[in-house]
Amino acid sequence: MKLNSPWTGILSFLIVLFTMPLGHAAMILMEKILGHDLLYTAAVLLGGVGVVLLLTGIFSKKEVSATFGGLFGGLLIWTGWIEFGYVYFANRFGVQPLIENGEVVTKPEYLIMPSSIGFWAIIMLFYIFSIRSNCSFFNWIQRRIRYGDEQRPFQPVVRNAAMTTFMELNILLWTCYMVLLFAYDTEFLGDRHPVTAFIAFGALAWSIYLFTRLLKIKKLAYAIRYAIPTVIIFWTFVEIMGRWDLLKEIWVEPSHYWVEMTAMSLAFIGLFIFLFFKRDHKQ
């Protein structure tokens, strides 16, 4: 069966979209089920599984398999080593959550995550001034500053679908976390600030634009990689809507909404099997 646009883009968008709430729900269930003693050991193992998936993708000769290896490897490493890494140090040093009106609005791990902004800036400098990543955003910046022309050519970079997907996912997640956390911080803006509203609806508009372009992509591996920024930018809008209590984030309470989360998990598995085994092998 050959996947043609717009279905290639739509199904790619859905499978990446499902990873967002399911990833959040998995973290919460791990914290509740495993408890303090086993949680961090499981998180280290989870990241290790992510490394195995990434390496499998790196050495795969098939672009679709490599892309999925980078996607799921990146998700497991982000969840196991990065998110739970912040959870560990927040708990270890007694960081308190941000509470408003008797309700936790920001967990301790997210209060310390903005401290990584300097490392984020270093990575951005590398991608802008050192390599041609083929990312549309970085390409746009490089054209505007006229960097990477004939007088300052970039060195060639060996491209690998798994590593490209892995880095794209993690850097986008990191970037959007930074944007949200600084926007929520009342020392800078606050979640009700007009700029935060601009970020929300700007992200929605940007994701719609990216989605219209995604619908034109016929190659499955490329569609999955293009769906990653489309979904993560869209999820920025979803997160702010949840912060404003304009939608119910059922993935925050997976044990309470277990029917909905189970249905979502089954849909995700079904989509993945369909995309992976019914793809056009000539692509």
**Three-state secondary structure call for residue 106:** strand
What string of pLDDT tens digits covers the 283 residues of the chain? 456 668 889 999 999 999 999 999 998 989 888 877 799 999 999 999 999 999 999 999 899 999 999 999 999 999 999 999 999 999 999 999 999 888 888 999 999 999 999 999 999 998 888 777 777 888 888 888 877 665 666 665 667 899 999 999 999 999 999 999 999 999 999 999 999 999 999 999 999 999 999 999 988 899 999 999 999 999 999 999 999 989 888 998 888 998 999 999 999 998 888 876 765 444 4
Contact partners, residue 173, CB within 8 Å, separation at least 6: 78, 232
- Is residue 152 domain-resident? no
Assessment of whether the complete model's pTM goes beyond 0.95: no
Sign of the alpha-carbon torsion through 13, 250, 54, 115:
positive
- CB-based burial of residue 19 (10 Å sphere; 0-12 exposed, 13-18 middle, 19+ buried)? buried
Inside any domain, residue 204: yes
> Which one, of 79, 96, 104, 90, lies nearest residue 28 by Cα?
79
Whole domain around residue 56: which residue ranges? Answer: 7-144+160-277
In a domain, 155, yes or no: no
Question: Does residue 149 lie within any of the structural domains?
Answer: no
- Domain count along the chain: 1
248 in a domain, yes or no? yes
Host H or E run for residue 103 = strand 103-106
> Residue 150: inside a domain, yes or no?
no
- Find where tokens 């196991």 sit: 80
The dihedrals phi and psi of 106, each to the nearest 5 degrees, come to -140, 125
Tell me how far apart the alpha carbons of residues 4 and 223 are, in angstroms, rounded to a whole number. 11
1, part of any domain: no
Query: Does 52 fall in a domain?
Result: yes
